[in-house]
């Protein structure tokens, strides 16, 4: 693991193949992955463990009909950068509700996602 980027990224994604792809992509880049979590409640439980705070989070916006905004609010309260990863959400709506957040449209290349995570964690 190099020290030129944060170590731990929380991944919240309910589609198994995409979740595994994100996990492997991030691990290949040297990140430790918290998750992937398939639900908001699962991710919130992980956030409750203060020993495992992520340096950033990659969130799918819709988790099997579940709204991820409660989790995003908790991340924002902890000053954890958020990268929304969605094929349905409007980036401008997310930016309005979560100023300073980032957005990657699905599908997203590994290079684009890791560059976005790097930008998110530099602010």
Summarised one tens digit per residue, pLDDT across range 20-65 is 999 999 999 999 999 999 999 999 998 887 667 899 999 999 888 7
* Residue 91: burial class (beta carbons within 10 Å; 0-12, 13-18, 19+): middle
Question: Within 10 A of 70 (CB to CB), how many other CB atoms are there?
Answer: 13
In this predicted structure, what is the pLDDT of residue 1?
38
Distances (CA, A) of 103 to 45, 49, 59: 24, 26, 9
pTM score of the predicted model: 0.91
| 11-122 is a CATH 3.40.50.620 domain | no
Domain ranges of the chain: 11-122
């Amino acid at each position: 693991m190099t020290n030129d980027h944060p170590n731990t990224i929380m991944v919240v994604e309910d589609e198994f193949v995409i979740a595994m792809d994100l996990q492997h992509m991030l691990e290949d880049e040297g990140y430790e992955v918290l998750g992937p979590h398939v639900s908001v409640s699962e991710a919130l439980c992980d956030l409750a463990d203060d020993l495992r705070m992520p340096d950033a989070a990659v969130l799918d916006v819709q988790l099997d009909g579940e709204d991820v905004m409660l989790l995003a609010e908790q991340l924002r309260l902890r000053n954890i950068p958020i990268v929304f990863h969605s094929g349905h959400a409007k980036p401008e709506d997310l930016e309005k509700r979560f100023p300073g957040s980032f957005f990657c449209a699905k599908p997203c290349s590994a290079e684009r996602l890791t560059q976005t995570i790097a930008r998110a964690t530099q602010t």
